[in-house]
């Protein structure tokens, strides 16, 4: 018998660790589903309705990639993303195209990066993706203020009156994004 592979009761250490990992993942998934059930309600794939009560977009003040603070006002679109997130990376070229198309009409698009360990990669990521809209470094307080953003990408469509008109969780293609932006303009 190999030393260190069995516990005193004869249960192997590896199966015990695997069982604990599976249990932990299950608990985390249950908690996440419970937490999502407390906030936003799903209406159709990718689109959600803001919880009852105030639909006013929460105010925030965050640093941009140049170190300047930006305070929210009446915005058109707020997109929570991360550079390591594949669906986030896939939707960005469409965002850039739609932003460039509508920015002359007063369209504002704010990207809020939820990168933590990969924050240093953000400036290079912005350059390589030719992102011309404002990008801010996000924080936990801002994500919580927007209903506890738990999935990325998550995009909030905010009208000129400061009210949240639509929330889209997950990837949104260029045409659907453009359609939502046009509703705001």
pTM of the predicted model as reported, rounded to 2 decimal places: 0.70
Choose between 38 and 55: higher pLDDT: 55
- Asked whether residue 102 falls in the same domain as residue 178, the answer is yes
Instruction: Give the tens place of pLDDT for each residue, 57-74.
Output: 888 889 988 888 988 765
- Asked whether residue 61 falls in the same domain as residue 7, the answer is no
Residue 48 has pLDDT above 50, yes or no: no
- pLDDT band at residue 52 using 50, 70 and 90 as cut-offs: very low
pLDDT at position 76: 77
Q: Residue 76 region, left (φ>0) first, then alpha (ψ -120 to 50), else beta?
A: alpha
Domain that holds residue 143: 41-184
Q: State both tokens at 160.
A: 């000129």
Instruction: Give the tens place of pLDDT for each residue, 80-102.
Output: 999 999 999 999 999 999 999 99
- Asked whether residue 33 falls in the same domain as residue 86, the answer is no
- Asked whether residue 85 falls in the same domain as residue 153, the answer is yes
Strands (E), the chain: 41-44, 47-49, 61-63, 69-71, 77-81, 109-113, 134-137, 154-158, 164-169
- Asked whether residue 24 falls in the same domain as residue 70, the answer is no
List phi, psi (to 5°) of 102: -110, -5
Size of the chain in residues = 185
Distance, CA of 46 to CA of 15 (rounded, Å) = 38
How many domains, the chain? 2
Instruction: Give the tens place of pLDDT for each residue, 153-185.
Output: 999 999 888 889 999 999 999 999 999 999 988
- Asked whether residue 111 falls in the same domain as residue 21, the answer is no
> What DSSP designation does 2 have?
-
- Asked whether residue 128 falls in the same domain as residue 173, the answer is yes
Strands (E), 18-57: 41-44, 47-49
Residue 75 has pLDDT above 80, yes or no: no
Residue burial 103-132, b: 16+ Cβ < 10 Å; e: rest? eeeebbbbbbbbbeeeeeebeebbeeeebe
Instruction: Give the tens place of pLDDT for each residue, 3-45.
Output: 545 545 566 777 777 766 766 665 555 555 444 443 333 333 3
Residue 112 has pLDDT above 70, yes or no: yes
- Asked whether residue 120 falls in the same domain as residue 145, the answer is yes
pLDDT at position 13: 72
């Amino acid at each position: 018998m190999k030393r260190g592979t069995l516990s005193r009761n004869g249960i192997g250490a590896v199966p015990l660790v695997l069982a604990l990992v599976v249990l932990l993942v299950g608990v985390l998934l249950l908690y996440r589903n419970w937490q999502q059930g407390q906030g936003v309600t799903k209406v159709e794939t990718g689109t959600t309705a803001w919880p009852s009560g105030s639909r006013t977009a929460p105010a925030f003040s965050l640093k941009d990639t140049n170190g300047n603070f930006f305070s929210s006002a009446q915005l058109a679109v707020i997109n929570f993303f991360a550079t390591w997130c594949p669906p986030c990376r896939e939707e960005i070229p469409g965002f850039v195209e739609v932003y460039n198309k509508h920015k002359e009409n007063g369209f504002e698009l704010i990207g809020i990066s939820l990168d933590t360990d990969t924050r240093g990669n953000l400036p290079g990521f912005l350059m390589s993706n030719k992102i011309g809209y404002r990008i801010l470094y996000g924080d936990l307080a801002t994500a919580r203020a927007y209903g506890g953003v738990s999935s990325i990408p998550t995009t909030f469509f905010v009208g000129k009156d400061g009210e949240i008109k639509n929330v889209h969780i997950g990837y949104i293609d260029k045409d659907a994004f453009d359609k939502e932006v046009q509703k705001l303009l």
